[in-house]
Amino acid sequence: MFEGLSLDQAPPISVVLRFFLSVPVFGIFLSVLMMLYPTQILTVNHPLSLAAIHLLFLGVITMSMIGALFQMQSVLGGRPIPAPLGNAFLIHILFSVGIFTLAGAFITQIAPLFVLAATLLGSGIVYTVFLIIPLLFKSSLHDTLRGMRLALISLFITALLGIVMADAYAEGNFSTFHEAIRATHYSFALIGWIGALIIAVAFQVVEMFYVATPYSDWCKHNVFRIIPAALILKTLWLFLALPYVWVFDLLLAALLMGFFTTTVRRLRERKRRVSDVSIWFWSIGMGLLFVSLIAYGGYLWNMEEVILQIAVIAYALFALSIILGMMGKIVPFLVWFHLSSAGYMDAPIMSHVIPLKRSQSLFGLFVLVCGTAVMSVLYPPLFILTGVFSFALFALLGYNLIQALKLYRYTLTHGTRFTLE
């Protein structure tokens, strides 16, 4: 059978890098907050803690994931996002200004800033979802695409609930449903958006990048049914104030534990055991997911807030770990791919775009961030050190990305094109 694929689908390199380059900016801003206000950030529901959480989950994690979606949709979905330059520009502006405004709103508690942040971020998310979702529905039913669909719908729900809460913060008037809204908001964000997208990506890349055994068909088919079912039921239970809501958390935790087990097995049994920094990030990411799930189980058992903090921090670092590992693969690929497509003979090989030493240093800094972040829950002043390592991590990430972009631009102007004679 011969495939008749329509080619020329990849978006321009600037579309993806625009989002990726913003990640270190938000990361550095977050790190400065961590250095200045360690205790406040580790205090649950403190305004500075909420500012830091949104800088991390929106500025670092969501910004990376939206950039990756622009690339993944064209490659996996077979239907590229239309007008990628203009749409990426618009979405990026709405997100960037919206995230800074939201962080500013939490820090300063100026009411109109909450409204402005909700408007900007809400518009950005709704626009993104309505731009990409129709393309996913028209594509063939691929497991990864179903995961992307679930992730985007979850992001949409997260945003809607976020707008409702921003309005409550602006007016200083919290409804009786505030706790239910808040729990639904973070459940859809952490599991429906971040968790589902990472699982969907894992289904593709663990097998493709590392020559590992494919995930089982049962797992691929059912995981994106179980997650929304559990989230919807949890939401109903929360709003109706029914007992045993933790059952749905336990179901989701069991599912993520299954994902952890099968992924670790695939990484351990891969056919070519070549050492690669992205494998290190996947491995430590899986370790962090395990810590998070065990800690969350402990929290459900004894309701100790310290254990919940460990669970949330480990989960965020799990997501960041996968993102850093994937960025280290995607950015060199994009530089090589776009130069090769343009016919440059001397397009750098991918392993030269971000040198191994710098990738290893990034990983070393990430390990330091993880170690100090988890321990700082028990000894909050240590969080200053987490901020220092995090600052260095994001500064190095920014340097790596800028150097990759400079290499791309240098080859564009000085490189020689190969000619077929």
Q: How many residues bind other proteins (CB under 8 A)?
A: 32
Distance between CA atoms of residues 46 and 384, nearest Å: 17
Q: By CB under 8 A, is residue 217 in contact with other proteins?
A: no
Q: By CB under 8 A, is residue 85 in contact with other proteins?
A: no
By CB atoms closer than 10 A (0-12, 13-18, 19+), residue 357 is: exposed
Q: By CB under 8 A, is residue 140 in contact with other proteins?
A: no
- Report the residue number, 350 or 375, with the smaller CB distance to other proteins: 350
Cα-Cα end-to-end distance for the chain: 31
Identify the residue among 100, 280, 336, 389 touching other proteins (CB under 8 A).
Answer: 336
Task: Give the CB-side neighbour count of residue 265, counting CA atoms within 13 A.
Answer: 10
Q: How far is the CB of 11 from other proteins (least distance, A)?
A: 12
**Spatial CB neighbours of 81, under 8 Å, sequence gap ≥ 6:** 11, 70, 73, 74, 87, 131, 132, 135
Q: Which stretch binds other proteins (CB under 8 A): 15-23, 180-188, 204-212, 382-390?
A: 204-212
- Report the residue number, 11 or 398, with the smaller CB distance to other proteins: 11
Q: How far is the CB of 403 from other proteins (least distance, A)?
A: 19
Other Cβ atoms within 10 Å of 7 Cβ, number: 6
Q: What is the DSSP letter of 380?
A: G
Q: By CB under 8 A, is residue 141 in contact with other proteins?
A: no
Distance between CA atoms of residues 104 and 46, nearest Å: 14
Identify the residue among 240, 302, 357, 420 touching other proteins (CB under 8 A).
Answer: 420
Distance between CA atoms of residues 154 and 147, nearest Å: 10
Q: Which stretch binds other proteins (CB under 8 A): 33-41, 52-60, 244-252, 327-335?
A: 327-335
Q: How far is the CB of 92 from other proteins (least distance, A)?
A: 23
Q: By CB under 8 A, is residue 210 in contact with other proteins?
A: yes
Q: By CB under 8 A, is residue 343 in contact with other proteins?
A: yes
Which residues, numbered 269-308, are part of the site for other proteins (CB under 8 A)? 271-272, 274, 276
- Report the residue number, 213 or 360, with the smaller CB distance to other proteins: 213
Q: How far is the CB of 372 from other proteins (least distance, A)?
A: 32
Q: By CB under 8 A, is residue 209 in contact with other proteins?
A: yes
| Token duo for residue 106 | 């939490």
CB 383 within 8 A of CB 373: yes
Q: Which stretch binds other proteins (CB under 8 A): 154-162, 189-197, 345-353, 400-408?
A: 345-353
Q: How far is the CB of 150 from other proteins (least distance, A)?
A: 23
CB 329 within 8 A of CB 279: no
In 3D, which of 21, 8, 7 has the Cα closest to residue 330? 21
Q: Which stretch binds other proteins (CB under 8 A): 164-172, 178-186, 202-210, 401-409?
A: 202-210
By CB atoms closer than 10 A (0-12, 13-18, 19+), residue 126 is: middle
Distance between CA atoms of residues 311 and 298, nearest Å: 9
Identify the residue among 83, 93, 342, 402 touching other proteins (CB under 8 A).
Answer: 342
Distance between CA atoms of residues 279 and 321, nearest Å: 10
State the residues that interact with other proteins by CB under 8 A.
Answer: 1-3, 5, 7-10, 75, 208-211, 214, 271-272, 274, 276, 329, 332-333, 336-337, 340-343, 345, 349-350, 418, 420
